[in-house]
Structure 1
Amino acid sequence: ILSVLKKKDVNEIDDQTLILADIAEKAIKQVKEFVVELLKDKMEIEKAEKIAEILCEGYWTHDYPLDHEKLRELGINVNTNVPPEIYALMDLYKQAEQKRPSVQYIPIPYKSESETRRIGR
């Protein structure tokens, strides 16, 4: 949604998209601030802000896995030595199987032509 603001003139964007873009901008700002808050005691504030920007600015889709190697590349100190007791605890809380993909491609427009005409775009 935010990339539309960079690609189109604001007068060519429907009101709903503008509202969603405003919400998206606020959400990204909030998440970035939270990531900095989590990291600031573990590294320099400038480094925490840079990592927060990378994690929150759309480099990856939400379902892209950031494994320990990628996190280390970003400068996040990751410990992969999980005590066996944690795995035993996790075994007590089985997760339901996903029967559908986490990201779904919808090959049709979200709005019908009549809806688009009513909006005036």
Structure 2
Amino acid sequence: MDFTFSNLIFLAFLVIILQPFLTGRMFALRRAQAISTIQRRRKTRIITMIHRQERRSLFGMNMSNTIGLEDAQSIISAIKATPREIPIDLVLHTPGGLVLAAMQIARAVEAHPAKVTVFVPIYAMSGGTLIALAADEIVMGEFSMLGPIDPQIMGVSAASILAARDAKPIEHVSDLALVLADVSEKATAQVKRGAIEIMTPRLPQDKAEALADTLTAGTWTHDYALTPAEATALGLPVNVGLPQDILDLMKLYPSPVRQSAVEFLPFEPPGRRIS
């Protein structure tokens, strides 16, 4: 078969189209092998929910992921398929997402009879923190982060909307602001009630209520990073020290959005050359 210039152009175009899919498949196989190895070592069921920006579309467009109903359906199915006596390790890396989905996952985590450990390699913010509240143990790295679970209404903290309403005489508050304040009150109460529900099997009622109030009342901005020390001080069952195989697993979830701004060479002890 004779290759013309147009044939070469077509092949190059085909490679460009298929490359994201082939790369994704390769990483999927490596992840499956790594998860299988960790499961055998820890004698647990490994479930991951890793939200990174990934090139998933036909032309390599970037897709930004957050907690959604499909995540909830998949995790609930995985938990229900796990024997009652088998512990679960849930690896979370997420900026948050839909409250409904996060609450569904949290309830499924809380309902599993055996121990459930949540691993937070980097961050589990907002809805991710809500899920972590349902676990028996939260394992974080030295610099891992959790976050507040205060609801956001149209991108604004519900607590801030209520504070703005209360700062003015009622006759000076617009109808729209009153509607948003009403929604904010309901959303805050719902999230607080849900957080108390999933924590009370492990915490006394009064401590669960106090913790839920702190996390939902707008004590901090929504992107505030709760360190392991702060989370422990709040009463969460936090342990610091991620297993190396969990850290290695995270490397198999690359984020090919753009060239990294961070570069470094592997460290070599003195006396050895870096090739």
Secondary structure at 2:245 match in 1: helix
- Alignment equivalent of 1:11, drawn from 168, 171, 182: 171
Inter-partner Cα distance in structure 1 for 2:256 and 2:170: 43
1:88 and 2:248 are equivalent in the alignment: yes
Normalising by structure 1, we get a TM-score of 0.72
Matched residues, percent identical?
38
Inter-partner Cα distance in structure 1 for 2:224 and 2:237: 19
8 A Cα contact 2:191 2:216, kept in partner:
yes
Give the C-alpha shift of residue 96 in structure 1: 6.4
Q: Structure 1 unaligned runs (5+)?
A: 98-121
Partner of residue 108, structure 1: none
CA radius of gyration, larger in: 2
1:13-32 correspondence to structure 2 within 5 Å: 13-32=173-192
Report 1 or 2 for greater relative contact order, CA contacts < 8 Å, sequence distance ≥ 6.
1
Amino acid at match of 2:218: G
The number of residues matched between the two structures is 98
Amino acid at match of 1:3: A
Secondary structure at 2:238 match in 1: coil
Deviations 1:20-52 (A, max 9, x none): 111111111111112112211111011000000
> Superposition RMSD on alpha carbons, in Å?
1.9
Partner of residue 47, structure 1: 207
Q: Structure 2 unaligned runs (5+)?
A: 1-160, 258-275
Give the C-alpha shift of residue 72 in structure 1: 1.2
- Alignment equivalent of 2:227, drawn from 64, 67, 70: 67
Inter-partner Cα distance in structure 1 for 2:192 and 2:255: 29
Structure that is richer in helix per residue: 1
Give the C-alpha shift of residue 85 in structure 1: 2.1
Structure that is richer in strand per residue: 2
Give the C-alpha shift of residue 11 in structure 1: 1.3
Q: After the TM superposition, list the runs of 4 or more consecutive aligned residues in structure 1 that deviate by more than 6 angstroms.
A: none
Inter-partner Cα distance in structure 2 for 1:72 and 1:95: 30
Normalising by structure 2, we get a TM-score of 0.34
Inter-partner Cα distance in structure 2 for 1:11 and 1:75: 42
Partner of residue 38, structure 1: 198
